[in-house]
Amino acid sequence: MKPLVTIVTPSYNQGQFLERTILSVLSQDYPNIEYIVMDGGSKDNSAEIIRKYSDRLHYWVSERDKGQSDAINKGWKMGTGVYCCYLNSDDELAPGVISDVVKVFQENPNTGIVYGDCTFVDADNNVIGEGKGHQTTFKRLLVHGQMPAIAQPSSFYRMDLVRKVNYIDESLHLAMDYDLLLKLSRISAIVYIPKVLSLFRLHGNAKSTTLAKRHWHEALRVRRKYNILYSWKALMMYLRFRVFNLLPDSLQDAIRRGRNSVNDKLILGTKE
C-alpha cells in the first residue's frame, strides 16, 4: 500500500471552476488519495457539482464555516494521510503530480515541504504565465517572501509536522499559507521539484487579486511574529505598492503594460 495522501478543497461560491478542480484530483494516477471537499454553504451550484462526485470523495459538506483557514483545518483534522495539501476550488493539480511528490518525500524522509512550479491561467484556462519556483530556506522565505519561490497550489506537506505546528493559523485569512510554510521550514527540510505541479488560476474575483492591501498587512504581521528585523524588505515593497496605487489609473496601466508581469496581465485583462 502506498502512503495515503489527504487533499482538502475549501470552497465558497466557486461553481464556475469547482468541477475542474475536483476532476484534477480524481484523475490523478496515484492510487491512495483521501479527497475531502469543504464547502462553506455556497449559494451557487457548488453543492450539485460536489454531489455528482460524492461516491469518489472521502467526505464532503456544504455548511457555513468561519472561512478558508477554518475549512482547511477541519478537513485536515479528519484526514488520516501521511502527506497532505490543500487545493483551492479555482486551482487545479497537473496530471500525475501526486506520484512524483510522494516519491520525493520518501527519498527525503526529513522533508516537511515538497513544492514545484505552476502555470498561471485565467478564468478560461488560457495560459498567462509560468510560475518558476526555486530552492529556498526558512530565512530566505522570511526576508524575500513566499512568491515566486513557492506557489501555494504546488506545495505539499508532511501531515505529522502540520499537526506538530498546530495546523493553519485561523486568525489569518490571506497569508495563512505563508505562515504555514515558515512554521514547517523552521523545523524541517524543504525540497523543490523543477516541474509544473499545478494550474494557479488568476481571475478578477480571486482573493489574491481583490484583497491585495489586506494581504500585505497580514504578510507583514506574519514576518513580525518570527523576526521583526526581517520585515524591512517587505515594508519597502509595501510602501512602493501604496505609492503606485496613488498614481492615476492611466499611468498605472501604462506601467503595467511595460512591466508585463503575470499579475499585471491579469489586472489589465479584467479591465478590457
- Which tens digit of pLDDT belongs to each residue from 57-70? 999 999 999 999 99
Domain 5-208 fold: Spore Coat Polysaccharide Biosynthesis Protein SpsA; Chain A (3.90.550)
Is 229 exposed, middle or buried (CB count within 10 Å of its CB: 0-12, 13-18, 19+)?
exposed
C-alpha R_g of the chain: 18
Domain ranges of the chain: 5-208
Helix, strand or coil, per DSSP, at residue 152: helix
Average pLDDT, the chain: 90
Our separate counts of H helices and E strands in the chain read 12, 9
All residues at 6 or more sequence positions from 158 whose CB lies less than 8 Å from its CB, including other chains: 82, 83, 84, 105, 111, 112, 113, 184, 188
Supply the pLDDT for residue 206.
56
Is 80 exceeded by the pLDDT of residue 221? Answer: yes
Tens of pLDDT, residue by residue over 139-171, are 999 888 898 899 999 999 999 999 999 999 999
Maximum Cα–Cα distance across the chain: 59
Q: Where are the beta strands (DSSP E) in 63-136?
A: 83-86, 92-93, 111-121, 127-131
Per-position b or e across 7-33, b if 16+ CB within 10 A of its CB: bbbbbbbbbebbbbbbebbeebebeeb
CA distance 94 to 102: 15
- All cell numbers assigned to 114: 515538497
Supply the pLDDT for residue 158.
98
User: What does pTM read for this prediction?
Assistant: 0.89
Is 70 exceeded by the pLDDT of residue 270? Answer: no
Bridging pattern class, strands 92-93 and 189-201: antiparallel
Is 90 exceeded by the pLDDT of residue 50? Answer: yes
Task: Find the mean pLDDT for residues 13-27.
Answer: 96
Task: Find the mean pLDDT for residues 210-220.
Answer: 75
- All cell numbers assigned to 98: 501526486
CA distance 262 to 267: 9
All residues at 6 or more sequence positions from 192 whose CB lies less than 8 Å from its CB, including other chains: 115, 116, 133, 134, 135, 136, 149
Cα dist. 38→50, 56, 62, 99, 257 in Å?
Answer: 10, 14, 7, 24, 38
